[in-house]
Amino acid sequence: MSTTTHTTGHTTGHTTGHAIDQAPASRGAQTAALVLGVTALLALVVAAFAWPASQVAPRHLPVVVVGPLDAAFALQQATAHTGPDPLDVTAVESRAAAVAAIEDREAYAAVVPGPEGTELLTASAASPAVAQALQQLTAGLAAADPGSPAPTTTDVVPLPPDDPRGLVFNAGSLPIVLGGLLTGAVVALRVRGGVAQVVTALGIAAAGGLAVVAVLQGWLGALEGSTWANAGVVALGMAATGLALVGLHRVLGLPGLGVGAALVLLLGNPLSGVTSAPELLPGGWSTLGQLLPPGATGTALRSTAFFEGNGAGAPLLVLACWVLAGAALALLPRRAPRPEAAPDVVRAEPVGVR
């Protein structure tokens, strides 16, 4: 007794021919989707980096004026034509109080009227872009009054002599972001176990912080202040990004790494305000930028490097929250994979008996 399975051979041949007929169309659709996807991603990257730069303008910049409240109000009114609320002006009693406000990171600059003309106190270490913009603003105001002498400028907290325009400091911000992303990806993909992942990420961040500061401060002279404090800020920033990626990978798998990288690189880095200042970006976006690791790291590092830690409290708290949240997600128990259902077995039925 024997069985014959002519139907199986006919079906297989028909299916193979159909697949061959559909292969060119399928490859064409995949190519088109790939081209469109990469193009859309490129447009998104360009928009994410270029749009904030196109929107740079003073918005609620904190500035102090030495003198009565009338002087503060007059400066506020005189600068109203430059945009909606470009300055937040407050009055202080003396030049010493104005210097203290700048050194405490409560103001970017101060206007000190005097019989021999106006003195502008700036802090290029807080933001070279803001210092330059305020110099141009006060020069324009003086030029509008032909009888007033040209204002003088005093840089109360200057940048280091080896980096007078802050270019090295600005350039060093991106490697810190990339270091955090690399830490998260390597640990998530190569280290097993939540505790081991957290410990490894913190170890890489600590070593990376020392390496970054050794280059920026020890070699290039772009940072000042305590080496250990600066290294601690950089390490905390890298750990915040790295552990966030590890935690997202634990919860979402490989897509979690993509979500975390996009959040940090496409939003956090352009909105960090490192190359300009948070107050030069649109209000809601600047707030978001300071709540993400790149912005918080840049602000905290400026504070420890140039302002003896003044103003570092809020950004350090933001970074600590990212570290704790990432570690908490990384320590979640991993779900056991569901058992796959056994494939259905198709049995050939006998079609004939001899």
* Per-residue pLDDT tens digits for 252-262: 999 999 999 99
- For residues 179 and 136, state if they share a domain: no
Are 143 and 68 contained in the same domain? Answer: yes
Taken as a whole, the chain contains a residue count of: 354
Give the per-residue pLDDT at 8.
Answer: 46
| Together in a domain, 150 and 171 | no
- Give the 3-state secondary structure of residue 90: strand
Same domain, 117 and 175: no
| Average pLDDT of the chain to the nearest whole number | 86
**Cross-strand partners of 279:** none
Domain with 246 in it: 167-330
Q: How far is CA 241 from CA 31, 95, 179, 237, 245, in A?
A: 34, 41, 9, 6, 6
* Residues 81 and 143 placed together within one structural domain of the fold: yes
Cα-Cα-Cα-Cα torsion 197, 199, 204, 205, nearest 10 degrees, comes to: 110
Between 239 and 28, name the one with better pLDDT.
239
**Whether residue 136 sits in one domain with residue 204:** no
CA 316 – CA 311 distance, rounded (Å): 9
The answer to whether the beta carbons of residues 311 and 303 sit under 8 Å apart is yes
pLDDT in tens, 220-258: 999 999 999 999 999 999 999 999 999 999 999 999 999
- Could you please report the per-residue DSSP string of 242-277? HHHHHHHHHHHSHHHHHHHHHIIIIIITTTS-SSS-
Mean pLDDT of the region 45-68: 84
* Number of independent structural domains in the chain: 2
Rounded to two decimals, the pTM is: 0.83
Query: Is residue 104 one of the residues assigned to a domain?
Result: yes
SS3 120: strand
